[in-house]
Structure 1
Amino acid sequence: MFLSEIFSDPAFSLVPWVVFFPLAGIILNLIFSRRWEEKLTALTACLAAGGSFVISLLLMLALTHHPEGATITLLEWINTGSLQINWAFRVDTLSVTMMLVVSGVGTLIHIYAAGYMHYDVRINGDPSRYSRFFIFFNLFILAMMLLVSADNYLMLFVGWEGVGLCSYLLIGFWFEKGADGIANARAAKKAFLVNRIGDVGLLIALFLMFWNFGSLQFDTVFARAPEVAAATPAVLLAMTLFMLLGVAGKSAQLPLYVWLPDAMAGPTPVSALIHAATMVTAGVYLVARSHTLYSLVPAAQTTVVWLGALTALFAATIAVAQNDIKKVLAYSTISQLGFMVAAVGMGAFTAGLFHLTTHAFFKALLFLAAGSVILGMEDVRKLDETNLSDSFHHSHVDPQDMTLMGGLRRKMPVTFWVYLMGALALAGIAPLAGFFSKDEILAAASQNGLLVFLVLLAAAFLTAFYMGRQLWLVFFGKPRSENAENARENTALIVLPLILLAGLTVLGGLLNFPGSLALEGWLEHTLGKGINGEFNSMVAGISLIVSITGLVTAWFVYSRYSGEIKKLDPLEDMFGAVFIGARNKWYVDELYHAIIVRPLEGLSQQLAQPVDQGLIDGIAVGFGSLTKAIAQSWRSIENGFVRSYALALLLGIVLIFSYLVIR
């Protein structure tokens, strides 16, 4: 680091440690975890994530005194021709906000995972993977912190690819499990490949950026953007739209959302980390960070708004019909990300990031509480009671199927109350955090256009409905299986993070409470004013009525179906084929398989023999055969006889002298 940067504000110089702490956790667990007990392995990983959070807090305090922020250069990275890129960390109000969310919520998920994975590795029959899980978990935090702290697009892209790698490793953590022993591996591969499509779009945007700006550093690109927009507006439009393709991949928007529901194959803490604090928020952050570019291209902004709004509504229709407790939350995440993308697209950056923050609180709470429900349905506490440390026999009942639950509010009271808080916050019920952040997005949408507002309002109604449906099926009525009848509350290590997240869910609205607008003033230092998304009493009243109506409707529909398991969902009785279509995710996966996957597989089979094995392998094998033939012809020279070597030396000297004489 440069001395001038270190002494400008000592706290700013600490920013590399947001990456170094999880790196230290990875190294320590790689070296020592085989000798350590589980508790020490988990403690190391939790302290590593917690260390990043402490550094983020110190950076936040430093920014209150120096809101202009700073750039801390760690080392020179690339210096060739006109391209000069440093490994540099950007400290401003946007990056630090993301650091706080990632490390703060991530630390709570780490603590929860310490208890959850103790049971999960035994349920799945391999306790030795406990340390591997926390190495991957720390790597996820490291990659995301690198992404949000980068001072240039190339360093951001390294973190971008890092979270993609971690999602692959963690979604496929139990790669040999699932249907036919390969379903989890396929889910991981699907996430990796779908995100590669988005990443190609982002790479093309970066190529266009370097070609037209001569740099990938944020300040340089943003300073030259107006000039490029005036001279060649089509270039900036292409750049922002290709960047949006990357956003659609990472933040699971249409048409690249299909990987996220399958990501439920990973352990529940992985679902929480992906959906709440890390990977899926990267796209929203990228649009906010690139706000200068998007503000110069109205067509791109409009595209972002409609992409987010349509995704919000589309995913909500699917969530209504799912019976897997985690799948409902997965489609909910896609829908809520649509709200955020629409907000940053319309210029309501504070509203979008406010919802990103509150969503991290209540979505982490919901996923972790869902994990608590799953453990309760498995009755994993008998592991501790019987000391079955090496294996656990699964029940034949799917512990994630909500139709087999019921009555859990009495069996698991703490989990019920925290889940209720998270569900009501997601539904947008006052005075919980989700009400205030969602209201700001709807207020901004009401200024953007009536149609966008109505689409988001419809998504808000469906959100309240499917959360009401989930609450009823899981916690109310009578137990609908033996597992639900025998369910018990979990240990303190699992329950405590839920209580803390519930507190953040209740109080999170204070971050940008009407009248204070603390977050808006904080982010203005980096993002400017943007569209006014302040509290609008009329919009707030309408959205609250819509949310309450959704909850009441769900209660009315499902409260009559307590007791024995019904073969048909009440909505299937009412809507028939429409509900079946929603349950089958509108057959989008089947459509992709028919028009993309199957033709590519057929083409690859046709080309495998003539192109791959014939041409490509033939070239490689040919070079190998040529090298082998040359080696065989020359190795006779190495015969082991000194007289032969002496003769060769003599001939060499004669040839050299002959050449010199002739010359």
Structure 2
Amino acid sequence: METNLALLLLFAPFAGFLINVFFGKKIGKNASGYLGTAAVAVSFVVTLFFFLQVSSTKKAISVELFEWLNLQNFTVGFNFLLDQLSLLWLMFVTGIGTLIHLYSISYMHDDENMHKFFAYLNLFVFFMLTLVMGSNLLIMFIGWEGVGLCSYLLIGFWYKNQDYNDAAKKAFIMNRIGDLGFLIGIFILAHIFHTLEYTNIRTAVENAWTIDRTWLTIAMLCLFIGACGKSAQIPLYTWLPDAMAGPTPVSALIHAATMVTAGIFMVTRLNFLFNLTPDVLEVMAIVGAITSLIAASIGLVQNDIKKVLAYSTVSQLGLMFLALGCGAYEIAVFHVITHAFFKACLFLGSGSVIHALHGEQDMRNMGGLRKVMKITFATFLISTLAISGLPPFSGFFSKDEILMTAFHHNTVLYVIGSLASIMTAFYMFRLLYLTFYKDFRGTEEQKHHLHESPGLITFPLIVLAILALVGGAISLPGASWLNEYLAPVIAKPAVHHHLGPTEYMLMGIAVVGALVGIGIAYAKYMNKGEVPPQDSEIKGVAGLLYNKYYVDEVYTAIIVKPIYAIGSFFKNVTEAAISGLVFGFGKAAVFLGKQGGAVQNGSVGFYLLIFVLGICAIVGSIFLIK
């Protein structure tokens, strides 16, 4: 029974994909939307069943299907593992995925390819489930590559816009760079342990298996490079803001609960190996902290509502990697969960605003929307308070634990993380004030058509806002259900400091920092009523931040253009070689044909002469041979 239910959990979205691909147009838009939503909802219900079972029995569920590869002393099974970590991930992937599918029914209603959109969404969820459920690294890699493919299809869904196609290609290529590192890491681990099964590798480590630490460090560094690509850490983060080209539900699905969390899942899954390579963990913490600060600083001046949220995602992912680098895996998972709640709500809330404004995304052309979009505003406010780290909202508890851990690990990293958090509070309330307060700054036509979004859009917002409000309860200081739940999966639990004067002081600093960021935003955009200037007027440091430190331009100059130049050189050389060789043979054949044609002049006497000369040549050659 467990095997059948596990297969139902996995293949329900895949069935939805197949039906929508082949019959979506025939069954109609609404039917295809509800079918796709129901497919993911089925997975959620089955996940909930397994989640409750494992929570009560404390025993992981192993689903063994068949032997996939058998090469001498190396065997890989096509099996699935439903333990505490995978089920926790499946809960918010399928749960939030269901809400996003439901939201999309209304949001994508006017799109002629709505059935295709839901087919891609279902396929995306299928590959994410494969990534999470696999019992070994090879099955994880299938899901890893699958979500990369689906992100390409979804980001470039509106393919008639070339900019969107370019964004999709950018995401695909940059992920492939990270994926190469991930694949190399898998090969090295296969060589070291002669297996890719998580349980077998962990058993080998716990039994003091003799391990070449140099090769293990290289392997874990390669896996971290893969995580940098998928979870958008420097230097492979620039694809994520451009992924905003896709429809807003895609942004919510990719940024909140699925693809970008794959790197955190992989590192947490292999925590027992990363614990053996402290140097890699230190690099991870540094990269996470720097990514968080850089992305937060860029978000300070962005004017596209989705771009602000995109850089916010990169910044929050940086904080998660900071926690992972400190060895606090369960704290990173805690922030993944709370982030999934409030970031999904924020993205879907921005989609509600964009829907009401008929595609407008520039916050300079918004304002005053709280009067006509009360539900969207209320849910957006709750999620903004959560991401800003104010109590008692969920983000306060998870972010505070990260900063507290960083403080005890490395003071510099703590300062960097705190600065990023203050910036987060500023740019999120900047977004809130510019979008929902003061007077409306759009066109009269937009103002005339302003309205609250339909129920299929507002219902997911309400659910996610409630979760963003109370989600922190899963890991309260001193009474963490989450830490106890994940204990069988985490080989070396993080040191959870008792709440003393230092910890209360750190909490106070975090809250004061958030309030300072909010206060600065209030002074600028409420008291002074400032509106960000037009692009051409943004100069100095603001211009540097607005242009994202010119990282894309640097990449273009030092990577893209040289590759194009090399490609153009070899293209020209190849064309010249082909032209010289192929056309040379052609010209030789034409020349010989013309000479042969000249011989065929119609003179019988000339033909007889050639005949006699030929006979003489044959006879002469015979005598010479003898």
Give the match for residue 559 of structure 1. Answer: 526
The Cα of 1:229 is off from its aligned counterpart by: 8.2
Unmatched 5+ stretches in structure 2 = 586-626
Summarize the Cα distance change of 1:209–1:611 in structure 2 as closer, same or farther, 3 Å threshold. farther
Summarize the Cα distance change of 1:559–1:205 in structure 2 as closer, same or farther, 3 Å threshold. same
User: What is the alpha-carbon distance in structure 2 between the residues aligned to residue 613 and residue 43 of structure 1?
Assistant: 57
Query: Does 1:159 pair with 2:146?
Result: no
The Cα of 1:88 is off from its aligned counterpart by: 0.5
Query: Does 1:440 pair with 2:401?
Result: yes
The Cα of 1:130 is off from its aligned counterpart by: 0.6
Summarize the Cα distance change of 1:458–1:615 in structure 2 as closer, same or farther, 3 Å threshold. farther
Deviations 1:364-396 (A, max 9, x none): 000000000001111xxxxxxxxxxxxxxxxxx
**TM-score for both structures, normalised by structure 2:** 0.89
Query: Does 1:116 pair with 2:107?
Result: yes
Summarize the Cα distance change of 1:132–1:597 in structure 2 as closer, same or farther, 3 Å threshold. same
User: Which of 562, 565, 581 in structure 1 is aligned with 2:544?
Assistant: 581
- Contact conserved, 2:2 with 2:63, CA < 8 A, in 1? no
The Cα of 1:490 is off from its aligned counterpart by: 1.0
Deviations 1:186-207 (A, max 9, x none): 0000000000000000011011
User: What is the alpha-carbon distance in structure 2 between the residues aligned to residue 376 and residue 473 of structure 1?
Assistant: 16
Deviations 1:408-451 (A, max 9, x none): 11121111111111111111111111111111111111111111
Deviations 1:554-591 (A, max 9, x none): 1112224538x66369x96xxx5111100000000000
User: Which of 79, 95, 107 in structure 2 is aligned with 1:104?
Assistant: 95
Give the match for residue 53 of structure 1. Answer: 44
Give the match for residue 599 of structure 1. Answer: 562
Give the match for residue 497 of structure 1. Answer: 460
State the secondary structure of the residue aligned to 1:489.
coil
Give the match for residue 594 of structure 2. Answer: none
Give the match for residue 257 of structure 2. Answer: 277
Give the match for residue 94 of structure 1. Answer: 85
Give the match for residue 363 of structure 1. Answer: 343
Which residue identity does 1:193 align to in structure 2? Answer: I
- Contact conserved, 2:272 with 2:492, CA < 8 A, in 1? no
Summarize the Cα distance change of 1:617–1:254 in structure 2 as closer, same or farther, 3 Å threshold. farther
State the secondary structure of the residue aligned to 2:43.
helix
Count of residues in correspondence between the two structures: 576
Which deviates the most, 214-223 or 419-428?
214-223
Deviations 1:504-540 (A, max 9, x none): 1111111112342001100011114521346643222
Summarize the Cα distance change of 1:617–1:139 in structure 2 as closer, same or farther, 3 Å threshold. farther
User: What is the alpha-carbon distance in structure 2 between the residues aligned to residue 144 and residue 331 of structure 1?
Assistant: 23
Give the match for residue 548 of structure 1. Answer: 515
Deviations 1:278-335 (A, max 9, x none): 1000000011011111100110110111111111111000000100000000000000
User: What is the alpha-carbon distance in structure 1 between the residues aligned to residue 89 and residue 31 of structure 2?
Assistant: 28
User: Which of 428, 442, 466 in structure 2 is aligned with 1:467?
Assistant: 428
User: Which of 476, 480, 495 in structure 2 is aligned with 1:532?
Assistant: 495
User: What is the alpha-carbon distance in structure 1 between the residues aligned to residue 152 and residue 314 of structure 2?
Assistant: 18
- Contact conserved, 1:13 with 1:72, CA < 8 A, in 2? no
Which residue identity does 1:485 align to in structure 2? Answer: K
The Cα of 1:228 is off from its aligned counterpart by: 8.7
State the secondary structure of the residue aligned to 1:16.
helix
Which deviates the most, 150-159 or 552-561?
552-561
Query: 1:38-437, aligned counterparts within 5 Å?
Result: 38-119=29-110, 121=111, 127=112, 129-177=113-161, 182-225=162-205, 231-378=211-358, 399-437=360-398
The Cα of 1:225 is off from its aligned counterpart by: 4.0
Q: Is the radius of gyration larger for structure 1 or structure 2?
A: 2
User: What is the alpha-carbon distance in structure 2 between the residues aligned to residue 561 and residue 600 of structure 1?
Assistant: 49
State the secondary structure of the residue aligned to 1:75.
strand
Give the match for residue 474 of structure 2. Answer: 511
Which residue identity does 1:263 align to in structure 2? Answer: A
User: What is the alpha-carbon distance in structure 2 between the residues aligned to residue 433 and residue 285 of structure 1?
Assistant: 20
| Seq. identity, % | 41
User: What is the alpha-carbon distance in structure 2 between the residues aligned to residue 437 and residue 614 of structure 1?
Assistant: 62
- Contact conserved, 2:299 with 2:307, CA < 8 A, in 1? yes
The Cα of 1:11 is off from its aligned counterpart by: 4.5
The Cα of 1:19 is off from its aligned counterpart by: 1.1
- Contact conserved, 2:54 with 2:84, CA < 8 A, in 1? yes
Summarize the Cα distance change of 1:615–1:61 in structure 2 as closer, same or farther, 3 Å threshold. farther
- Contact conserved, 1:95 with 1:148, CA < 8 A, in 2? yes
The Cα of 1:12 is off from its aligned counterpart by: 6.6
State the secondary structure of the residue aligned to 1:254.
coil
- Contact conserved, 2:192 with 2:211, CA < 8 A, in 1? no
Kindly report the root-mean-square deviation, in angstroms, between the aligned alpha carbons of the 2 structures.
Answer: 2.2
User: What is the alpha-carbon distance in structure 2 between the residues aligned to residue 551 and residue 148 of structure 1?
Assistant: 37
User: What is the alpha-carbon distance in structure 2 between the residues aligned to residue 147 and residue 427 of structure 1?
Assistant: 31
The Cα of 1:213 is off from its aligned counterpart by: 1.4
Unmatched 5+ stretches in structure 1 = 1-9, 122-126, 379-397, 623-663
Give the match for residue 621 of structure 2. Answer: none
Give the match for residue 645 of structure 1. Answer: none
Summarize the Cα distance change of 1:406–1:609 in structure 2 as closer, same or farther, 3 Å threshold. same
- Contact conserved, 1:12 with 1:70, CA < 8 A, in 2? no
Give the match for residue 605 of structure 2. Answer: none
State the secondary structure of the residue aligned to 1:118.
coil
Which residue identity does 2:158 align to in structure 1? Answer: W
Query: Does 1:21 pair with 2:5?
Result: no
Summarize the Cα distance change of 1:80–1:362 in structure 2 as closer, same or farther, 3 Å threshold. same
User: What is the alpha-carbon distance in structure 2 between the residues aligned to residue 327 and residue 533 of structure 1?
Assistant: 35
User: What is the alpha-carbon distance in structure 1 between the residues aligned to residue 576 and residue 346 of structure 2?
Assistant: 50
User: Which of 485, 492, 497 in structure 1 is aligned with 2:447?
Assistant: 485
- Contact conserved, 2:303 with 2:532, CA < 8 A, in 1? no
- Contact conserved, 1:305 with 1:342, CA < 8 A, in 2? yes
The Cα of 1:28 is off from its aligned counterpart by: 2.0
